[in-house]
Structure 1
Amino acid sequence: MEADARKSLRSVYLTPLFSGAIAGLSVDVALYPLDTLKTRLQSAQGFQKAGGFKGVYRGLLTVATTSVPTASLFFASYEATKSLCQPLVAPQYAPAVHMFAACMGEILACVIRVPTEVAKQRKQTYVGTVKRSSVTILLDAYKTEGVYRGVYRGFLSTVLRDLPFSFIELPIWEMLKTTIKERNNGEITSFQSALCGSIAGGFAACVTTPLDLAKTRIMLADTLSDNRHKLRISSVLAEIYATAGVRGLFAGVTPRTTSFMIGGFVFFGVYDHSKSWMEKCL
């Protein structure tokens, strides 16, 4: 009985924790240049002025060192919530469980993700001659604007962006995996899981591009003191629509969708492969 409890603990918490870390690090290191290009396309100052194709790995260290705890927290929370809720819900309502579990995972992950995004995106679009570290950027943000308006600038917009994304991506990923398992006597390979993740990630990324655009503009704004009302999600999107129409709302959609299709393949493929390997070893 005690052995079963330890095995359950490893399966629900430790395995997703370490597998998520490996998956998060892998996808961030591999796809960082595409994310940089997407951010510069969405920048209000324009692609070339934000850096163009130069220094596409600027800010990588910040992301690489924080992707580990972010992905770990997300998957540990996601798997734990799913494990607790699924026995209480009928099978036909499984997508609702996946949505709720994704919600819990995203909120927890954003505690680490948002400061990282603030530092990363300001690095990606910084064109001055004096190099600034991520710590310096966050300290400056804290001194001038405080915790919520500086370090956690765009926290709400990030949560509102990532929650719809996860509401779409995770249920689709789980649904596609379930379909494959039903056709293969309950078996699914890491490669098949990766393909499911690629489809789910690409579709979710395309649909949520306007929310990602709003988040980027809010994080890159110089100050909130005089234009606080203009930096709300609805105001930012309304301004973009007024000046550039629907096309403007989907600025950066191609690199974002491409990035998440490739990222979904790497992320979920590595996650499932690492998870399977760790379950055999532990």
Structure 2
Amino acid sequence: MSMDPKIESPGALKHKFFSPKDAVKKNAGSISKKEDPFEFVQVLLDGAIAGAAAGVVVESALYPLDTIKTRLQAVRDGGKIILKGLYSGLGGNLAGVLPASAIFIGVYEPTKQKLLKSCPENLSALAHLTAGAVGGAASSIIRVPTEVVKQRMQTGHFASAPDAVRLIVAKEGFKGLFAGYNSFLLRDLPFDAIQFCIYEQLRIGCKLAAKRDLSDPENAVIGAFAGSAITGAVTTPLDVIKTRLMVQGSANQYRSISHCVGTILKEEGPSAFLKGIGPRVLWIGIGGSIFFGVLERTKQMLAETRPAK
């Protein structure tokens, strides 16, 4: 008696399902693809190049605003603000900003991707927050000495970056290049984490709503919002403290963050903590727009130059 053609034989059914061995092979293939070391290195390199480009463009475009902000914060008792030499120290600053920005984004991108793969989808904001803080901490090793040299040149302490480094080390030791390190971390780690988290979450929402990749102007607008005026204004007191600790040099007028706060309150009053708020808010708003716009454009250009897999 022949079998009904609609009923498949056990042998045919066997081939319709994955065997445990087939499942292991499939999973092994997906795991190896997920943990491809070449992909990790590519993400790191692309992030480093894009971060370096974005950092250099922002610093070059907005350096005069930063100089005015630094001079307003450094001056005491209503002293006169000099508006000459607004590009003082730009060359030396770019020499430090380029590797610092490269390290920041070079660490941020692969850290973000690793965390997103291991975190539930509804905790993506936590992955972005953590990656921003990790990138900021990694780049601080270069960012802090760069900031110390830049701010002392902006306030007229030195004529060139090499002289600044040499004299700081000679008078204050190597630790002089890391003056204000704790205040820098206190200001920048929360700011970096929040800024990048807001930017990434807004991009995700906008891309889902638009159902397409975002344009350069759209990325720039989101970047400006992420580096919002509110965030810049709220962190201005921390920025004033950082500036005072970095530019004081061997005078050691301020022994610590708490001593700096107490001295400023006693000698200048609470309003001193808002010095430079205008230029800082402008710098952060415009800078966020330029930084993230250049960052995404550079990442896209790098992706387009790679051969298709």
Q: Distance in 2 between matches of 1:173 and 1:3?
A: 28
Query: For 1:231, what is the secondary structure of its paired residue?
Result: coil
Seen in structure 2, the aligned counterparts of structure 1 residues 241 and 182 have a Cα distance that, compared at 3 Å, is: farther
Q: Distance in 2 between matches of 1:61 and 1:30?
A: 13
Q: 1:237 deviation in Å?
A: 2.4
1:158-169 paired onto structure 2 within 5 Å: 158-169=184-195
| Residue 292 of structure 2 is aligned to residue 268 of structure 1 | yes
Query: For 1:212, what is the secondary structure of its paired residue?
Result: helix
| Residues 40, 46 of structure 1: 8 Å contact kept | no
Seen in structure 2, the aligned counterparts of structure 1 residues 175 and 153 have a Cα distance that, compared at 3 Å, is: same
Of 180, 185, 196, 2:211 maps to 185
Of 94, 118, 129, 1:64 maps to 94
| Residues 161, 211 of structure 1: 8 Å contact kept | yes
Q: 1:233 deviation in Å?
A: 1.8
| Residues 28, 64 of structure 1: 8 Å contact kept | yes
| Residues 77, 268 of structure 2: 8 Å contact kept | no
Of 60, 72, 83, 1:53 maps to 83
| Residue 56 of structure 2 is aligned to residue 25 of structure 1 | yes
Render the CA deviation track for 1:170-213: whole Å, top value 9, x for unaligned.
Answer: 11111211221121115222221111111111333222111111
Query: For 2:227, what is the secondary structure of its paired residue?
Result: helix
Of 256, 264, 277, 1:240 maps to 264
| Residues 164, 208 of structure 1: 8 Å contact kept | no
Q: Distance in 2 between matches of 1:208 and 1:10?
A: 34
Q: Distance in 2 between matches of 1:246 and 1:11?
A: 48
If the length of structure 1 is used for normalisation, what is the TM-score? 0.89
Render the CA deviation track for 1:85-139: whole Å, top value 9, x for unaligned.
Answer: 1111112222221121111111111111111111111111117xxx632111121
Q: Distance in 1 between matches of 2:33 and 2:118?
A: 24
Of 215, 221, 224, 1:195 maps to 221
Seen in structure 2, the aligned counterparts of structure 1 residues 167 and 107 have a Cα distance that, compared at 3 Å, is: same
- Residue 3 (structure 2) aligns with: none
Of 161, 169, 178, 1:134 maps to 161
1:110-125 paired onto structure 2 within 5 Å: 110-125=140-155
Structure of larger gyration radius:
2
Equivalent position amino acid for 1:52 in 2:
I
Seen in structure 2, the aligned counterparts of structure 1 residues 157 and 132 have a Cα distance that, compared at 3 Å, is: same
Q: Distance in 2 between matches of 1:62 and 1:125?
A: 14
* Structure 2 segments unaligned to the other structure (5+ residues): 1-28
| Residue 247 of structure 2 is aligned to residue 231 of structure 1 | no
Q: Distance in 2 between matches of 1:11 and 1:144?
A: 42
Q: Distance in 2 between matches of 1:47 and 1:270?
A: 38
| Number of matched pairs | 274
Q: Distance in 2 between matches of 1:261 and 1:8?
A: 33
| Residues 210, 237 of structure 1: 8 Å contact kept | no
Q: Distance in 1 between matches of 2:135 and 2:191?
A: 12
1:35-50 paired onto structure 2 within 5 Å: 35-45=66-76, 49=80
Q: Distance in 1 between matches of 2:89 and 2:120?
A: 45
Q: 1:46 deviation in Å?
A: 6.2
| Residues 66, 280 of structure 2: 8 Å contact kept | yes
- Deviating more after overlay: 203-212 vs 5-14: 5-14
Equivalent position amino acid for 1:67 in 2:
V
| Residues 11, 279 of structure 1: 8 Å contact kept | no
Q: Distance in 1 between matches of 2:234 and 2:194?
A: 9
Q: 1:279 deviation in Å?
A: 0.6
Of 188, 198, 209, 2:236 maps to 209
CA RMSD of aligned residues (A): 2.2
Q: Distance in 1 between matches of 2:102 and 2:51?
A: 5
Query: For 2:159, what is the secondary structure of its paired residue?
Result: coil
